[in-house]
Amino acid sequence: MMTTERGVNGVEVLSTMAARNCFFGLDIGTHCDDLAERQSCVEQAIAGITDGKLAAKAREFMYFTAGFWPDVGAIHDRENQMKILRQSIEAASAGGDQDTLNRKIVAVGECGLDHHWNPSGEDGRCESDFDEATYRGEREMFESHLELARELKLPVIVHSRDSFEDSLDCIKNVGYDNGIIHCYSYGIDEARAFLDRGWYIAFGGAVTYNKKAKLEAIKDLLRFVPADRFLCETDAPYLAPVPLRGTTNTPVNVELVYKFIAEVRGTSLEELSNLVDENIKQLFSL
């Protein structure tokens, strides 16, 4: 899975993915009104691929989600932004034919909860932003995404950081268990709680970062998640895996995530790739 890269050569990225016979690429939404822009960005990149066969392959494997990340501005404008999100999905679904990019919306998200405060971060977020109204509003916004996904009969891409109990509580409140816990960052007990409800767990480049003190716990977690609920992802342009940590990430780098996880799980790259592809087929009804 990926988000649309800024400042990255999309033609080169998609060409490489197609040449590797990539089965699935997911461009994930983070703003309520970014769907059309993301689709256009990917379409332009595909149009720039000079090899017709590779271009056709790229168009075949690219899919999209629509949703928005829980920043403070979105939380306080949630009713309006949910309306915009719904309108963007309806507009995309109404245009084109079944073979074009704008019909390939396969999930709602990313959406969820983030209680990791980083005052020096790009959005200037800090702990003091989270008064009671913001906290309740964030939960309401996540539950609105879950309700929309249930209405549309689509899986959900869930962002959950330092907010396990609240995330699980919102999911229980809505009673919709269909999707991915994206960029998973908790332990085995938390994974069991999500898995018991039917969720998939997705791992990205962050699993390659851990210091020796935490490495065994990560390996135990990677072995714990059952084969039929296991996914790998990129989260480009973030979380570039070791040895590329700190650089702009692209979906091409997911191969490094696969290599790390395959070694930990004691399987081959091909077997892990086939396993993930089968899970994708099941989750997204492909």
Cite the annotated binding site by residue number: 110, 159, 182, 235
Q: How far is CA 5 from the centre of its chain?
A: 14
Rounded CA separation 174/158 (Å):
14
Both tokens assigned to 240:
């570039």
Q: Cα-Cα-Cα-Cα dihedral of 226, 228, 230, 235, to 10°? A: -160
Provide the annotated binding site for a divalent metal cation.
Answer: 110, 159, 182, 235
3-state helix, strand, coil in the chain (%, to 5): 55, 15, 35
| Four-residue CA torsion sign, 118, 202, 4, 168 | negative
Burial of 200 by CB count in 10 Å (0-12 exposed, 13-18 middle, 19+ buried)? buried
